[in-house]
């Protein structure tokens, strides 16, 4: 069997930590990176450019069919063998992929390594040749001691966002209900409620500013007609990307919002079974801060547009 490595130690590393065992959330990030969705990616790839990219990575069998790019790329990654996925990752950071543009190469290395860090390896360049390298995964998080209750976060004044009638009251009620779930240690229910809060906030702000939301480059389009989708058809991921693209969410809030979105997907029992994920108090503590930061960013953005 041919391996995309030149030394046995790296080959053993890939066998132990390879893409075939990657968490689906990591593959989602890689798919996002390949598509080039967002300012943190070095290169945006259209439908034909996605096909060309896979061909350059040695996988000409993948020809984009016109469907939603991110989901199509994710499906391609799931079909790949360990060796094929290694070739894709190496191509993503190869200077040859970016015509030697040092800025784009540096951005590619930084962004992709952030995406795969949780899997225990990173990519580096040996001259112009990408290599894999093992890393020790550590998270030095300031976690409260056992038995210390999560402090309730005050709800922002959602009525000040001047949203459509009725939605402010609903979001205020959901904020209170999320805290009630936390108090009852119903952490999964709390995470799902926080995800719905984030989605409701973003949709309401898009409804309030339709021209700006629909005119940005990140606005999702129907794969058949090529027209911008109606707001109720937008996914949470698409709303997060649009909110960042138009300046409503800072880059850090955008990234953490995507992490909350992934946890929100645990509303599907089979997703929880597949990922073996069980949110705890610490997960909720971090997620609460994400919702608060998103609400603050959106409030500031609206104040600027109305001032």
Every domain of the chain and the residues it spans: 8-134, 158-306
Rounded-to-5 percentages of helix, strand, coil across the chain: 65, 5, 35
Q: How far apart are CA 18 and CA 227, in angstroms?
A: 39
User: What's residue 88's pLDDT?
Assistant: 95
User: What's residue 1's pLDDT?
Assistant: 31
DSSP sequence for 157-219: -GGGG--STTHHHHHHHHHHHHHHHHHTT-HHHHHHHHHHHHHHHHHHHHHHSHHHHHHSTT-
**pTM, entire model:** 0.51
N-terminal to C-terminal alpha carbon distance within the chain: 64
Indicate if the alpha-carbon torsion angle 242, 246, 249, 254 is positive or negative: positive
Q: How far apart are CA 91 and CA 15, in angstroms?
A: 19
Query: pLDDT of the chain along its 307 residues, tens only?
Result: 333 444 454 455 544 444 446 788 888 889 988 998 777 788 899 999 999 999 999 999 999 998 888 899 999 999 998 889 999 999 999 999 999 898 889 989 988 988 888 888 899 999 899 999 888 877 655 544 444 445 555 666 665 566 777 787 888 888 889 889 988 999 999 999 999 999 998 998 888 889 989 998 899 998 888 899 999 899 999 999 999 988 888 888 899 899 888 888 888 888 888 888 888 888 888 888 888 888 888 877 766 555 4
Q: How far apart are CA 1 and CA 182, in angstroms?
A: 51
Q: How far apart are CA 297 and CA 307, in angstroms?
A: 15
Architecture of domain 158-306: Up-down Bundle (1.20)
Partners of residue 284 on adjacent β-strands: none
User: What's residue 297's pLDDT?
Assistant: 82
């Amino acid at each position: 069997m041919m391996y995309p490595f030149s030394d046995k130690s790296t080959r053993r590393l890939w066998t132990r930590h390879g893409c075939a065992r990657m968490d689906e959330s990591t593959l989602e990030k890689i798919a996002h990176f390949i598509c080039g969705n967002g300012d943190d990616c070095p290169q945006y790839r259209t439908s034909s450019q996605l096909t060309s990219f896979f061909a350059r990575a040695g996988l000409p069998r993948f020809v984009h069919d016109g469907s939603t790019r991110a989901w199509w790329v994710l499906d391609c990654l799931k079909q790949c063998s360990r060796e094929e996925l290694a070739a894709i990752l190496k191509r993503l950071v190869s200077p040859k992929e970016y015509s030697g543009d040092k800025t784009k190469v540096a951005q590619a290395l930084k962004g992709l390594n952030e995406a795969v860090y949780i899997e225990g390896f990173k990519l580096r360049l040996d001259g112009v040749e990408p290599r894999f390298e093992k890393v020790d995964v550590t998270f030095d998080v300031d976690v409260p001691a056992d038995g210390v209750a999560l402090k309730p976060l005050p709800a922002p004044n959602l009525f000040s966002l001047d949203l459509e009638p009725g939605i402010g009251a609903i979001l205020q009620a959901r904020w209170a209900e999320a805290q009630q779930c936390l108090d009852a240690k119903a952490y999964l229910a709390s995470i799902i409620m926080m995800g719905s809060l984030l989605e409701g906030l973003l949709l309401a702000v898009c409804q309030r500013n339709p021209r700006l939301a629909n005119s940005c480059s990140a606005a999702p389009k129907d794969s058949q007609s090529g027209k911008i989708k109606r707001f109720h058809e937008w996914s949470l991921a698409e709303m997060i990307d649009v909110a960042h693209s138009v300046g409503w969410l800072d880059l850090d809030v955008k990234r953490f919002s995507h992490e909350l979105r992934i946890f929100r997907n645990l509303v599907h029992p089979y997703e929880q079974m597949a990922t073996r994920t069980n949110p705890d108090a610490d997960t909720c503590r971090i997620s609460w801060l994400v919702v608060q930061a998103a609400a603050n960013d959106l409030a500031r953005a609206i104040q600027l547009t109305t001032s």
